[in-house]
Amino acid sequence: MSAPPHASRRDRIVLALYRSLGAGVGIGLMEFFANLANEPLARVPFVTSIVLTMALPEAPPAQPRAIIGGHVLSAAAGYLCASVMGGGPIAGAAAVGLATLAMILADCMHPPAGINAILITSMALGPGWILNPVLAGALLLTAFVHVWRVGERRLRK
């Protein structure tokens, strides 16, 4: 929820600080889980997703369908292109294009998810990476954002 147009400067600052804190806490949790899983790349696809969802929670790309669908489709596009074309920059470019097409057609555009396609093609990540950390991370991020927004609504009352 954006601050209402009639909100005071103080209320807008408090909302901005709360959302910024959420971005920091969110990526901190992703770091924690990535370290637990011994998967340093697990946090990479979600850094810009956290910024987007915290800063612009009402935006269509910040909605659960877009977050989850966008990340999974992008990762799947990366894996498909890597399987067909091998790794490298051409496969990566094709994967990003395919990921974009898939997100548009599925009506779940989440621009930060495009990184998954590049990561999979450039680092030869297997299909298991689509489930963990991509799907698992997208679900965790969506849950975190929901909980944080509940706190935001309480803050605004």
Amino acid identity of 104? Answer: I
| Residue pLDDT, tens place only, 102-146 | 999 999 999 999 999 999 999 999 999 999 899 999 999 999 999
pLDDT grade, residue 39 (50/70/90)?
A: confident
Q: Are the CB atoms for 66 and 105 separated by under 8 Å?
A: no
SS3 47: helix
Give the domain extent around 38: 9-156
Does residue 31 lie within any of the structural domains? yes
User: Is the confidence at residue 4, as pLDDT, over 80?
Assistant: no
User: Is the confidence at residue 62, as pLDDT, over 60?
Assistant: yes
Does residue 1 lie within any of the structural domains? no
Provide the pLDDT for residue 36: 86
Residue carrying structure tokens 């997703």: 49
| Residue pLDDT, tens place only, 65-107 | 999 999 999 999 999 999 999 989 999 999 999 999 999 999 9
Say how many C-beta atoms besides its own lie within 10 A of residue 106's C-beta. Answer: 14
Q: Structure tokens of 153?
A: 């609504």
- Rounded to whole angstroms, the Cα distance separating 106 from 28 reads 30
Interaxial angle between packed helices 64-85 and 47-55, expressed in degrees from 0 to 180 and rounded to the nearest 10: 160
- Rounded to whole angstroms, the Cα distance separating 83 from 131 reads 17
Does residue 3 lie within any of the structural domains? no
pLDDT grade, residue 157 (50/70/90)?
A: confident
User: Is the confidence at residue 5, as pLDDT, over 80?
Assistant: no
Does residue 2 lie within any of the structural domains? no
Instruction: Give the chain's domain count.
Output: 1
Does residue 151 lie within any of the structural domains? yes
